């Protein structure tokens, strides 16, 4: 019975195949998730550019109503204005990237 157990290799082949298939699946999943991350970041960058390109400037003039018989002003409102200026990171002005690679320096002994 012990000799039969030692000579039986059927389970070893199945286990090795499963490890190989699982390794290939995990590597493929890592690459796929990395591509999904890049796609999501790209789309969120587009959304940020769209929001940054909105012009929020406005202007309205004031008005007033004179009293009909007594003279003077019955009611008035003041005008207002706001001018939207370009912000720091509107439309890809600041990049979010990795630092450039640096040259290795010799080891100090």
Q: Cα dihedral angle (33, 38, 41, 47), rounded to 10 degrees?
A: -120
Q: What are 38-71's pLDDT values in tens digits?
A: 889 888 888 887 887 888 888 989 899 988 888 8
Quote the pTM value: 0.49
- Nearest by Cα to 24 from 32, 12, 36, 35: 32
Q: Tell me what percent of the residues of the chain surpass a pLDDT of 90.
A: 19
- Nearest by Cα to 55 from 95, 92, 90, 94: 90
User: In this predicted model, which residue has the larger pLDDT, 18 or 93?
Assistant: 18
Please tell me whether residue 106 adopts helix, strand or coil conformation.
coil
């Amino acid at each position: 019975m012990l000799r039969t157990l030692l000579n039986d290799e059927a389970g070893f082949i199945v286990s090795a195949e499963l490890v190989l298939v699982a390794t290939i699946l995990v590597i493929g999943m890592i690459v796929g998730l990395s591509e999904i991350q890049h796609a999501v970041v790209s789309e969120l960058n587009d959304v940020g550019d769209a929001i940054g390109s909105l012009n929020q400037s406005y202007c309205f003039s004031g008005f007033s109503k004179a009293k009909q018989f007594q003279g003077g002003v019955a009611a008035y409102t003041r005008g207002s204005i706001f001018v939207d200026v370009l912000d720091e990171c509107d439309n890809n002005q600041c990049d979010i990237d990795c630092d450039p690679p640096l040259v290795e320096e010799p080891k100090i002994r």
